[in-house]
Structure 1
Amino acid sequence: MATLLHLDASAELVDSRSRAITRAFATAFAAAPGNTVVHRDLHADPLPHLPHPELHWAAPLRSGGAPDPAAEALQERLIAELLDADALVVDFPLYNYSLPSALKAWIDHVHVPGRTAPSAVSEAPLAGRPAVVVTTRGGDYGPGAPNAGRDHATPVLELVLGEEMGMDVATVAAGLTLAGRDPARAERARRGEREYAEAVRRARDLGARLGRTLGARE
């Protein structure tokens, strides 16, 4: 048996492509016998901004005033939710070339040097655990495109979850999701549909493979 933590951050609650891709992943993961999915909707049930600077650090590394106990308790619940999961999948549309603020608030709560990130007083408890980050982009961000290099969200997730927290990060991306709104760009819209279909297929395959592999370990 294995547990997946499934995070959604899209503001679109009905027709979101990023949500559809993570849903395909989670459904395939849960198909393995005994596997479970814990779902947190970061947009519909938003987290507060981190209210105290000392919450950026594990307790042994703090040097300022004490955080509010309720804020600390929330952070502990979020960290425990992540540590209890065998895998993570998270969606994020590219908003203004960056992360949705709802997802940034979650990152600020769970990325804690001395607790979830390596430091002199702690090893990385999440080292090697799979994390699948799903991003959708309204335009074309591929090599040679005008927006190439302007995705300032995906590198943040790959850095924080991968390099900082030690997780094994895989990225699933679909572009041109807004091309269908312009009738003059039919070919770009068709390309966007192909990218979306491929992203769903890849997410489903990843979810099924990880679900079987992680479930068999328990």
Structure 2
Amino acid sequence: MTLLRIDASIQGPRSASSALADLVVAEFSAARPEETVVARHLGQKPLPSEAWALAIAGSFTPEDERTPEQREALELATTLAAELRDADAAVLALPLYNFGVSQHVKVWVDLVLAGAGPGARLLEGTPVVLLTTRGGAYGPGTPREGWDHSTAYLQRILADVWGADLTVIEREFTLVGVNPALDEFTALADQMKQAAEDAATQAGKTLGAR
């Protein structure tokens, strides 16, 4: 069994989303120490932003007429799609940035789509845990309600386009303790953190028991 882990945080060791992914993977590996974990960190090693356009252009170019750059981009796109297709389970730590997915995640999604081909259900029935974090609060009644343009998009791609058996774990107010303007929400933020950690731990146990 192969577990694919994708991270996209730019926060390094301070990453809230990666911390949740660590919990999932730790529980999975404790239950299945012999299994392989394939990791790709889009934030630490970003994919080249120009690769998507090159892959698309290359796909419409006869093979013997493709440029070296188009060949390289298509090979990368195929590799990324294969990582998802070959995974028996996946853990995706993809935080909200500037009200949407980061450029790193968007390039990854676009390249996977280019490498998979039209209509490919790369994750059909595959258990996938999506861990998404937000610095503020975006729920009903908050000033930022409706400003999260990341979570619904990721659900569409992962579940509706790629067919994943999706579990979504969300944590808000990760900037409490960092931004003094949010200090009044400390107790609520602590509750949200604990709830997300409990959910991540359970998700890891569930993956390990499959």
Letter of the 1:169 partner, please give it: L
Give the deviation of 1:109 after TM superposition: 1.1
Equivalent residue number for residue 216 of structure 1:
none
CA contact 1:117–1:165 (8 Å) conserved in 2: no
Alpha-carbon contact 1:54-1:64 (below 8 Å) kept: no
Correspondence for 2:194: 197
Count of aligned positions:
204
TM-score by length of 2: 0.87
Amino acid at match of 1:5: L
> Which aligned pairs between 1:12-161 and structure 2 lie closer than 5 A?
12-33=11-32, 34-51=34-51, 53=53, 55-56=55-56, 62-64=59-61, 66=66, 68-112=70-114, 115=116, 118=119, 124-161=121-158
Q: Deviations over 1:182-217 (max 9, x none)?
A: 44643412211211121111011111111211xxxx
Task: Identify if the C-alpha distance between structure 1 residues 139 and 64 changes in structure 2 by more than 3 Å, giving closer, same or farther.
Answer: same
Question: Which structure 1 segments of 5+ residues have no match?
Answer: 214-218
The CA deviation string for residues 31-76 of structure 1, in whole angstroms up to 9 with x for no partner, is 223222111111111111253547359x9xx545646111111112
Q: Whole-Å Cα distance in 2 between the matches of residues 201 and 116 of structure 1?
A: 37
CA displacement, residues 75-115 of structure 1 (integer Å, 9 cap, x when unaligned): 122112111111111112211101111111111111248x3
- Deviation sequence 1:124-143 (CA, Å, 0-9, x none): 24211122111111111111
Mapping of residues 177-188 of structure 1, within 5 Å: 177-183=174-180, 185-188=182-185
Match of 2:76, SS?
helix
Distance 1:36 1:181 in 2: 36
SS of 1:6's equivalent? strand
Counterpart amino acid of residue 55 in structure 1: A
Q: Which amino acid aligns with 2:209?
A: R
Equivalent residues of 2:135, 2:175 under 8 A apart: yes
Query: Using the alignment, how far apart are the partners of 1:73 and 1:35 within structure 2?
Result: 26
Instruction: Check 1:125–1:93 CA distance in 2 against 1; reply closer, same or farther (3 A cut).
Output: closer
TM-score normalised according to structure 1 size: 0.84
The more displaced of 178-187 and 199-208 is 178-187
Q: Is the 8 A contact 1:138 1:176 kept in 2?
A: yes
CA contact (8 A) 2:136 2:173 kept: yes
Taking only aligned residues, the RMSD between alpha carbons, in angstroms, comes to: 2.2
Partner Cα separation in structure 2 for residue 91 and residue 140 of structure 1 = 18
